[in-house]
Amino acid sequence: MQNARPKQFVAVLDFGAQYGQLIARRVRDMHVYSEIVPCDISAADLAAMSPSAIILSGGPASVYAQDAPDMDGAIFDLDIPILGFCYGEQIMAVKLGGEVAHTDKGEYGPSMLTRLGSSVLLDGTPNGGQTVWMSHRDSVSKAPEGFMVTARTENCPVAAMECPRKRFFATQFHPEVRHTEHGHRMLKNFLFDVCHLEPSWTMEGIIEEKVSAIRTEVGDHKVILALSGGVDSAVTAALVHRAIGDQLTCVFINHGMLRKGEPELVESVFREQFKMPLVHVHAEQRYAKLLDGVSDPEKKRRIIGTQFWKEFFAVAQKLDGVSYLAQGTIYPDIIESGARKTGGKAAKIKSHHNLIPFPVGVHFDLIEPLDHFFKDEVRELGVALGLPDKMVYRQPFPGPGLAIRIIGSVTPEKLTILKDADAIVREELDAYNQALFEKTGERNSEHTCWQYFAVLPDIRSVGVMGDERTYQRPIIVRAVESSDAMTADWAKLPYEVLARLSARIVDEVEGVNRVVYDVTSKPPATIEWE
């Protein structure tokens, strides 16, 4: 399915930035559509996309390095407003005749910015000092001809520069991160005062556009969808059903490693609330046999993924007239699994469940209506489509389910223990997050837990319960604060919340005598345990 861009959109040229996705998200937060494109796109190809504005991201390289990311200098001749951050400022300077120097002292983290006279980009920000976020050693030493230097820091003489006549603007710091206290205003100045864009990218308009595009592409053909109960597949199902109704059939493969109550929720929402055609495949026993004795996490992933598609296509081949397969691929999936649509070179971190192994002689055309949306935007779509909050704000959950939160082999006993413990973790921290939401009015306030779950390690420990010595299993609780899962910090939960979690798990879950709390950030750890 082709992505239908709105008439106005911002192209973010990605130079390998740590914050590349964040730039696109910040623009979308202002209700302007943005899209990440490879930095080496030609001027002709970029012009064919008709962007309303261009943002040049940061990047880890030096502009003078032999293998440094480059860009087509003709892009500066397209008469399109351009804003560069960090490496984006440096490459703008070099391409337009300025100079970049390697300094003896870099700047990393918060720096004090001083404005130097009037500035279109910095308009409305303090004339005195303001905090910005730096991450560089190289910096522009001489601005190109026609540019004004509009700000500096102690170690960076050209911290911001601009050429309003050509509508070129650049900063050495990162306006897109929250640590730049007036970064939001700078982006607003560029998008609305320089580019004269309209904040028209809203959920209602998006649904209308997507529904129309799906109807046009599908026509009177039938569509099948692998429904996991997760946010992405659920929103895809609701959106496609809004477009074509009973032409869509959802197939729910129950591998037995879902969280407590989730199969029942899927049945309730899709069969009863939305009245969708739903095939519920009970494959629990087949999966249990395949996973018996398997402890390696990557082997678990492969077994579960391979069997999933076998189960799915066994159903698909019994349905007549199916021409399309809909799935809930979202924008980070594309970027992280090799950037197949952005031109990037992302490393493979783990097996990806969105790569489809069609059986010999079987093929469906793909519909991926969410493939240019970030997770928070998918949740907004879900709310607008009428999905219940319990599903829309469901905790992120890996495709292989609890199998990879059980360290070691998967057994019925371990599954029961982890399901019961995880249900308590979710119940208590759902309540904790809800209390914060009612207090602050924000779903993602400073102290909100972004993701939380229980892990069952492959060990036992000694304990005392009553007058008896026990030798039972511990439960690890993982709770993190994050906005996008790219980085995360462990959640600073109040002691009373941790105490209640521990007491409930030990009291209510048979076979557990100890609870521990993971206090490791990402990096160096990952969010998940495997």
Q: pLDDT category, 465, cuts 50, 70, 90?
A: confident
Q: pLDDT category, 479, cuts 50, 70, 90?
A: very high
Give rounded-to-5 percent helix, strand, coil for the chain.
35, 25, 40
Q: pLDDT category, 102, cuts 50, 70, 90?
A: confident
Q: Is the pTM of this model over 0.85?
A: no
Tens of pLDDT, residues 233-266 = 999 999 999 999 999 999 999 999 999 999 999 9
DSSP string across 165-234: TTTEEEESS-TTSTTSTTHHHHHHIIIIIIS-------HHHHHHHHHHHHHHHHTT-EEEEE--SSHHHH
pLDDT higher than threshold 70 for residue 101 = yes
Interatomic CA distance for residues 206 and 442, integer angstroms: 23
The pLDDT of residue 436 is: 85
- 125 within 8 A of 132, measured Cβ to Cβ: no
The pLDDT of residue 229 is: 82
For residues 341 and 29, which has the higher predicted lDDT (pLDDT)?
29
Mean pLDDT of the chain: 89
Q: pLDDT category, 342, cuts 50, 70, 90?
A: very low
pLDDT higher than threshold 70 for residue 63 = yes
Angstrom distances, CA of residue 91 to CA of 58, 68, 86, 126, 174: 10, 10, 9, 27, 15
Interatomic CA distance for residues 211 and 226, integer angstroms: 19
Tens of pLDDT, residues 17-26 = 767 788 998 9
Tens of pLDDT, residues 344-394 = 433 333 334 455 777 777 789 999 999 888 888 899 999 999 999 889 988
Average pLDDT over residues 490-497: 94
Q: pLDDT category, 339, cuts 50, 70, 90?
A: very low
Q: How many CB atoms lie within 10 A of CB 389?
A: 11
Tens of pLDDT, residues 72-87 = 999 999 999 999 999 9
The pLDDT of residue 80 is: 97
pLDDT higher than threshold 80 for residue 447 = no
The pLDDT of residue 134 is: 86
Percentage of residues in the chain having pLDDT higher than 90: 68
Percentage of residues in the chain having pLDDT higher than 70: 92
Tens of pLDDT, residues 190-234 = 999 999 999 989 898 899 999 999 999 999 999 999 998 889 999
Q: pLDDT category, 62, cuts 50, 70, 90?
A: confident
The pLDDT of residue 273 is: 94
Average pLDDT over residues 450-456: 94
Contacts of 112 (CB under 8 A, 6+ apart): 129, 130, 131, 132, 153, 154
What are the residue numbers of the active site?
A: 86, 174, 176
The pLDDT of residue 353 is: 45
The pLDDT of residue 9 is: 92
pLDDT higher than threshold 80 for residue 341 = no
Tokens representing 498? 């941790």
Tens of pLDDT, residues 163-176 = 999 999 999 999 99
Q: pLDDT category, 3, cuts 50, 70, 90?
A: low
The pLDDT of residue 2 is: 52
Highest mean pLDDT pick, 5-9, 126-130, 398-402, 472-476: 472-476
The pLDDT of residue 178 is: 82
